Amino acid sequence: MVKTEDELLRAVARAYDRAQRAQAGCCGTTATQCQILCAIGSGGPVPQAELGARLGLEKSWVSRAIDGLEREGLAERRKCCQDARMYDVALTESGERRFRDLNAALNDQAEAVMSRIPEAERAGVRRSLELLAEALSSMEAECRCGGSEPGTAAASATGPAAPATGGSE
Beta bridge partners of 88: 47, 78
Cα separation, 153 vs 72, whole angstroms: 28
H-helix or E-strand spanning residue 77: strand 75-79
State what percent of residues in the chain have pLDDT above 90.
54
pLDDT at 149 over 80: no
Residue 153 in contact with residue 58, Cβ under 8 Å?
yes
**CB environment 24-50: b (16+ within 10 A), e (fewer):** beebebbbbbbbbbbbbbeeebbbbbe
Give residue limits of the domains in the chain.
18-138
DSSP string, 15-47: HHHHHHHHHHHHTT--HHHHHHHHHHHHH--EE
pLDDT, average across residues 46-53: 89
**Residue 18 φ/ψ, nearest 5 degrees:** -60, -45
Predicted confidence at residue 128, as pLDDT, reads: 95
Predicted confidence at residue 41, as pLDDT, reads: 95
Residue-wise pLDDT for 95-124, tens only, equals: 999 999 999 999 999 999 999 999 999 999
Amino acid at 150: P
Residue 133 in contact with residue 126, Cβ under 8 Å?
no
Give pTM, 2 decimals. 0.74
Q: What is the CATH number of domain 18-138?
A: 1.10.10.10
